[in-house]
Amino acid sequence: MKKNTIGLMGLGTMGGNLARNIASKGFSISLFNRHPEKVDAFLKTHQEKNLYGYHDLAQFVDSLERPRKIILMVPAGAPVDETLTQLVDFLKPGDIVIDGGNSYFKDTIRRQEALKRANIHFIGAGVSGGEEGALKGPSIMIGGEKSACKEVAPILKKIAAKDFVGGTCGGYMGAGGAGHYVKMIHNGIEYAIMQMIAESYSLLKTHYKLSNELIAEFFEACNDGKLNGYLVEIVPGVLRKRDGKKYLVDLILDSAKNKGTGKWTSQEALDVGIPLSSITQAVFARYLSTDKKLRTELAKVSPRKATKPGIPLETFLQNLEDALHGAFLMAYAEGLHLLQKADKEYGFKLDMGEAIRVWQGGCIIRSKLLKDLTEAKNEIAKSHFLMSKTAAKKLASVEKAWTAVLQESLSARIPTPALTAAMQYYQSMTSAQLPANLIQGMRDFFGAHTYERTDKPGIFHADWNS
């Protein structure tokens, strides 16, 4: 009996669409779900070629050609470990398990080490693009043992989206948990860009009193220009959606949820010692948004007085587009700087250019701005995006407008934490002198923590009371 090419466990929206994508590319795929009725319902709804369902786990595994290749599309955390516990007894040496969920990269490394003892390969594959991307072509960030990744690459690359020159947005990120690490960075950047867009919407709606339609037209113009990208593209659709006679967005509670990847990114930045200003502020903004009751009470204590805009609307819209341009670039720069440091910290042996390239299509942060990052990939690999001529030219051209937007938001008391943090990151990273010398003096004063000097080498401590 002919065996199937690959298996997939977990028929949620992402898993189901990924299975259909794989089947549409000519690969026969075995399907399993812990609730057998979901397999039956899926096959009844999707009667395409190459889809084969199984209720029994042993039969599911046995249906696959060797070495067996099985994709897990189950929720991150304990469900992955539980699935592996059930699955491992049916696997043989050389078989390959691919975790396509949003798993924490250190969990991926732990699972790789555990399965390695049984000579079973475990790959962490970050998959981005949402349910539409899973079906039509996601960005796939593959990480793990190189030989195992090569074994599954022909399938994963064929189902992935296309980059700017028609290549595949499926790529090998590096060893260990590199695939899930790159996906984590992707999600952190996503947090920042979404928050920056939301802050811009708030300025236009609250301060300039624009209608949802006019704000939608602004973002359409941005998407037709230099800010072209998926997250900007979807804003008009969100703003125009109606629920009866009212706009749906006006009925949605201003309390944003998160699934943890943004938090992991910020925690990781603290662990390896890299500033992640706008991304972390975006994470904090979501946490702050959930404290709706307290915010409502405090708004009564410190009411915001309406102020008239200090910048004409047409000029402000031009400034805001420039501010978003600069802020978006800083979000990418922050994430890539952390990725560069992590590469050294964890020995991923990452190709930074490849990480940037696979974000060009399919994923949530795909954007025309990635062309700038692609041009600067050599500088990014060696040092920082801000070292490139591209960055210097782009940011110099928008800094004045960006500053004007932030000044307007401050005078109107409309919070813009991510837009502001991105500017502070840019200004700080391009400052040769920061006031940390005073901090070091204070630390040595109260705690004898020592300091270094600019005029001679060594570690010093002063008698501050003499």
Locate tokens 């700038």: which residue? 372
Question: How far is the C-alpha of 252 from the C-alpha of 298, rounded, in Å?
Answer: 21
C-beta separation of 181 from 381 below 8 A: no
**Helix/strand/coil for 235:** helix
Catalytic center residues? 183, 190
Question: How far is the C-alpha of 106 from the C-alpha of 85, rounded, in Å?
Answer: 18
175: DSSP letter:
S
Residues 6 or more apart in contact with residue 103 via CB below 8 angstroms: 76, 77, 80, 124, 180
Instruction: Give one DSSP letter per residue of 34-97, joined into a string.
Output: SSHHHHHHHHHH---TTEEE-SSHHHHHHTBPSSPEEEE-S-SSHHHHHHHHHHGGG--TT-EE
The structure tokens listed for 344 are 């050294």
Instruction: Give one DSSP letter per residue of 336-404, joined into a string.
Output: HHHHHHHHHHHT----HHHHHHTTSSSSTT-BTTHHHHHHTHHHHHHS-GGGSHHHHHHHHHHHHHHHH
C-alpha dist (Å) from residue 163 to 57, 146, 349: 37, 22, 22
- Burial of residue 77 (CB within 10 Å: 0-12, 13-18, 19+) is middle
C-beta separation of 236 from 219 below 8 A: yes
99: DSSP letter:
E
Helices (H), 203-276: 212-224, 230-240, 261-272
C-alpha dist (Å) from residue 207 to 222, 238, 326, 356: 20, 20, 22, 36
**45 phi and psi, to 5 degrees?**
-75, -40
